[in-house]
Amino acid sequence: MAPITDKIRNEVKEIVYSFFADECEVDLASINSNTSIINDLDGDSLMFLELIEIFKKKYQLDIELKVIGKYAVKHPVATIGQLIDMQLLIIEHENRLLEIDQ
Amino acid sequence: MSKEVVITGMGLISSLGLSLEENWENIVAGKSGVKEITHFDAGTLATRVAAEVPPAFDELSRNLIKKRAASQMTRVTRMCITAAKIAVTDAGIDFNLLDRARCGVVMGVVNTGNSSSEKDTTIQNTVFKSMTNSMPAWISLEYQLQGPSFSVNTACASSAYAIAFGYEMIKSGQADVVIVGGADSIINFEEIQGFNALYALSVANDPPEKASKPFSLDRDGFVIGEGAGVLVLEGKEHAIARNTAIYAEIAGCGLTSEGYNIMAPMKDGEGMAKTLELALKNAGIKKDEVGYINAHGTSTELNDRYETMAIRQVFGDGARQIPVSSSKSMLGHTIGAAGAIEAIITALALKNGILPPTINYDHPDPDLDLDYVPNKSRKSDFNVALTNSFGFGGHNATLVLKKYRD
């Protein structure tokens, strides 16, 4: 469990924005927190998994995919802003992610 | 009601080019696409030549396939999707104007080429790259098609089977438009080593362009090629209503299984002959109407001998009057893509009135006495052509194509 600093928050935002701009071949400046991953970027669910792998390595996270899966079912992600918020929660809570709802 | 089925779009990617025009020009000129292998270090293998698709393909596919989707495809799948996009553009189809539930896809897929030559595979993409349904799936996704979409594997006859299934779907009224074809590349260390172990490949490495010599006395096995061929099939009335150009008509097909041997064709070409007979019957074509046969013509001892015997069995004394040529003399054997690539060449031959040659026919085999269109293409106005595809496992297909006349 790691506290979310401004540095981490900015890093996550930068990685997510760059990832989608690169993968979806769109201008970085066209992405904002309200951008829809499916409708605006033609993205796919696999991108979420790829980002998790990136953050698992970067922050050496201890979290199982099934935990994230259970959380995501209750808290579906549609926009870039929502995705960043979820990635921050994952970094902060790791395998205790589901305890947020308790 | 039974419908006539026509070809309205084609896309061809091979060692001889990345467009229909470039391929046809090189085929008519009798050029060979066979060169030393560059995909990997083949120095320790008995076979060190193949017909590789030119490097410019990478840029072409980057222009036609989104980066995200491309990262989930193998190079072979990208060849298929690129050829499909070219074919659909060629057909001038706007799927927004059609009932997508009546538009399908059938692809001949032996494998997706997810081998050691595929260096950029990530863990997340491994499954997508290996799925043998990936080619039809990506085409349906690209155009949001909702009709039947599937792949068929009958080894070297796969994409001929795909064309046959697409033809039947339209003829029986199940679909209005079907995108058919296939793509393949087995130019990798493991596959060449495996085929070398079966003594199936030519080891005449020097000069590479002379290695594939179907029907010649000194033939010593096939040369592996790679590529993709995709055709847009639709009902004739549907095509006329769209006011689109028509390349040729698919008049029928013969599909058989020999039930004989996993590798060798049935003795004396009996199974091949049955397939040819069935195709003619299915198409309602008389034997003396056939003006050209695009042979399976692999450049192996048995195939070329038995295919010649089969043609003799079926056409009798008339066999020597029918020009027979092997595109594999120029393009190598493109395995799962071969049936579609050769159907495209046959359609172009019909449309343009030109017989493509069998190159490297320098030493005739006295036992094989048909007109193999030796070394040079020639003009011929003919109305009906057959194209043969025979696969390991005894999967045989013969397609019947007819010249389209307004």
In a domain, B102, yes or no: yes
Residues B295, B235 share a domain: no
Question: Which residue among B80, B156, B238, B395 is the active-site one?
Answer: B156
**Phi and psi at residue B78, in whole multiples of 5°?**
-65, -35
Residue B318 structural domain: 253-403
**What is the value of ipTM here, to two decimals?**
0.79
**Chain A hits for B66, Cβ within 8 Å:** 24-25, 42
For residue B123, what is the domain's CATH number? 3.40.47.10
**Chain A hits for B124, Cβ within 8 Å:** 46, 49-50, 53
Residues B384, B276 share a domain: yes
Is the CB of B124 less than 8 angstroms away from the CB of A50?
yes
Residues B230, B89 share a domain: yes
Alpha helices in chain A (DSSP H): 6-23, 45-58, 65-74, 80-93
Is the CB of B124 less than 8 angstroms away from the CB of A46?
yes
Q: Which CATH architecture does the domain made up of A6-96 adopt?
A: Orthogonal Bundle (1.10)
In a domain, B247, yes or no: no
Instruction: Tell me whether residue B238 is one of the annotated catalytic residues.
Output: no
Residues B223, B190 share a domain: yes
In a domain, B279, yes or no: yes
Q: Which domain-ending residue is among B198, B213, B242? A: B242
Q: Which domain-ending residue is among B182, B211, B242? A: B242
pLDDT (tens digit per residue) in A12-52: 999 999 999 999 999 999 999 999 999 999 998 889 989 99
pLDDT (tens digit per residue) in B329-351: 999 999 999 999 999 999 999 99
**Chain A hits for B72, Cβ within 8 Å:** 46
In a domain, B199, yes or no: yes
Q: What value does the CA radius of gyration of chain A take, rounded to a whole number of Å?
A: 13
Residues B183, B65 share a domain: yes
In a domain, B248, yes or no: no
What is the C-alpha to C-alpha distance for residues B76 and B85, in angstroms, rounded to an integer? 14
Number of domains in chain B: 2
Q: What is the pTM of this model?
A: 0.94
**Chain B hits for A43, Cβ within 8 Å:** 68
Q: Which domain-ending residue is among B242, B277, B304? A: B242
What is the C-alpha to C-alpha distance for residues B396 and B269, in angstroms, rounded to an integer? 11
Mean pLDDT of chain A: 94
Residues B261, B235 share a domain: no
Residues B176, B28 share a domain: yes
Residues B197, B311 share a domain: no
Is the CB of B68 less than 8 angstroms away from the CB of A24?
yes
Residues B159, B192 share a domain: yes
In a domain, B283, yes or no: yes
State both tokens at B371: 């007109």
Inter-chain CB pairs, A–B, below 8 Å: 21
* Arithmetic mean of pLDDT, A56-69: 93
* Arithmetic mean of pLDDT, B203-224: 98
Residues B175, B312 share a domain: no
Pair B323, B291: CB distance under 8 Å: yes
Query: Smallest Cβ distance to B67: which of A23, A47, A50?
Result: A23
In a domain, B214, yes or no: yes
Residues B286, B234 share a domain: no
Shortest Cα–Cα distance, B245 to chain A (Å): 33
Other beta carbons within 10 Å of B27: 26
Determine the residue of chain B that is closest to A21 in CA distance: B68
Residues B162, B35 share a domain: yes
Residues in chain A: 102
Pair B294, B342: CB distance under 8 Å: yes
Question: Which residue among B80, B103, B253, B296 is the active-site one?
Answer: B296
**Chain A hits for B137, Cβ within 8 Å:** none
Other beta carbons within 10 Å of B359: 27
In a domain, B43, yes or no: yes
Residues in chain B: 406
Q: What value does the CA radius of gyration of chain B take, rounded to a whole number of Å?
A: 19
Shortest Cα–Cα distance, B146 to chain A (Å): 19
Give me the percent of chain B exceeding a pLDDT of 70.
98
Instruction: Tell me whether residue B333 is one of the annotated catalytic residues.
Output: yes
Query: Smallest Cβ distance to A25: which of B66, B72, B124?
Result: B66
* Arithmetic mean of pLDDT, B236-253: 97
pLDDT (tens digit per residue) in B278-319: 999 999 999 999 999 999 999 999 999 999 999 999 999 999
